[in-house]
Amino acid sequence: MADFSLPETFSPLTSEQIIAKEKSMMDARRFEHCIGVSRTAVKLAKLNHYDVNKAALTGFIHDYAKQIPVPIYQQTIREQGFDPDLLNYNRAIWHGIVGSWFIKHDLKITDPEIITAVKRHTTGDVTMTTLDKIVFVADFIEPGRDFPGVEEARKVAYADLDAGVGYELAHTLAFLIAQRAKIYPKTLLAYNQWAVKN
Ligand code: GDP
Ligand code: FE
Ligand code: FE
């Protein structure tokens, strides 16, 4: 963490203010994950000729709203114009889609590409920009991740970003189905778009 810094762009807040605000929203472990995602997003941005500053910031803030309490989420979904059907799915999927509201409101970030990448980072989507893919994949393969298949995911993603998206969706779907978890329709649509081999 000591040498972690962010570009002074995309928000009227200073980078120190963004880092402090993010830290106040989560436990130390989640904060380290966000730094790991930021650094991994920079690596993927370089490999895919994308703006490293934008990747660094979006990776860092992607889970900004992850630990907001359920009642606040429910209220935000109801009051800020989100699809009420979100309430029928696990809270795990809220922090990207609904988290985008907190990022605009608290961190004053309005760049549409950044907002969309945060929205899509948990479920993926049929259409994904380069930044969407970078954040989605960096979230899965950052150095703190440790699950069976993560080494293969890293190999695939560093060789080919789209293949990394497909690998992640196949792995996540298999994991959720093994638990008989309820699948958000966008996750399924994203799987069909990026993971199917023919
Ligand atoms: P994290 O925020 O860094 O932990 O990572 P993610 O934002 O990618 O995902 C959070 C959790 O949401 C993961 O455990 C995924 O398996 C889960 N998830 C992704 N899509 C769905 C879905 O459609 N339904 C459910 N129930 N969970 C999902
Ligand atoms: Fe997340
Ligand atoms: Fe994450």
Asked if the structure places residue 8 within a domain, the reply is no
Q: Is 13 in the pocket of ligand 1 (CB under 6 A)?
A: no
> What is the widest separation between alpha-carbon atoms in the chain?
47
Alpha carbon separation from 110 to 63, 87, 139, 155, 177 (Å, rounded): 16, 25, 21, 33, 35
User: Which atom of ligand 1 is found nearest the CA of 181?
Assistant: 26
Identify the three-state secondary structure at position 26. coil
**Contacts of 73 by beta carbon, 8 Å cutoff, 6+ apart:** 91, 94, 98
Distance 99 CA to ligand 2 centre (A): 9
Count structural domains, the chain: 1
Give the residue whose CA is nearest to atom 20 of ligand 1. Answer: 123
- Cβ-contact 144, 32 below 8 angstroms: yes
User: In this predicted structure, what is the pLDDT of residue 1?
Assistant: 55
Predicted confidence (pLDDT) per residue in 79-107, tens digit? 999 999 999 999 999 999 999 999 999 99
Predicted confidence (pLDDT) per residue in 122-147, tens digit? 999 999 999 999 999 999 999 999 99
Asked if the structure places residue 52 within a domain, the reply is yes
Asked if the structure places residue 45 within a domain, the reply is yes
- Cβ-contact 36, 62 below 8 angstroms: no
Asked if the structure places residue 163 within a domain, the reply is yes
d(CA 10, CA 25): 20
Asked if the structure places residue 10 within a domain, the reply is no
Distance 9 CA to ligand 2 centre (A): 23
Give the residue whose CA is nearest to atom 13 of ligand 1. Answer: 92
Q: Is 40 in the pocket of ligand 1 (CB under 6 A)?
A: no
pLDDT-based confidence at residue 9 (cuts at 50, 70, 90): confident
Q: Which domain holds residue 86?
A: 15-194
3-state secondary structure 75-142: HHHHHCCCCHHHHHCCHHHHHHHCHHHHHHHHHCCCCHHHHHHHHHCCCCCCCCCHHHHHHHHHHHHC
Asked if the structure places residue 2 within a domain, the reply is no
Question: Running DSSP on this structure, what letter comes out for residue 183?
Answer: P
Q: Which residues are close to ligand 3, an ion, with C-beta < 5 A?
A: 63, 139
Predicted confidence (pLDDT) per residue in 40-59, tens digit? 999 999 999 999 999 999 99
Q: Is 183 in the pocket of ligand 1 (CB under 6 A)?
A: yes
Return the best residue to mutate from 93, 142, 179 for the ligand 1 pocket (most ligand atoms within 8 A of CB).
93
The amino acid at residue 68 is I
Q: Residue 103 sits in a domain of what CATH number?
A: 1.10.3210.10
Question: Running DSSP on this structure, what letter comes out for residue 49?
Answer: T
The answer to whether the predicted template modeling score (pTM) of the entire model surpasses 0.95 is yes
Q: Is 182 in the pocket of ligand 1 (CB under 6 A)?
A: yes
Asked if the structure places residue 161 within a domain, the reply is yes
User: Which atom of ligand 1 is found nearest the CA of 63?
Assistant: 2
Asked if the structure places residue 82 within a domain, the reply is yes
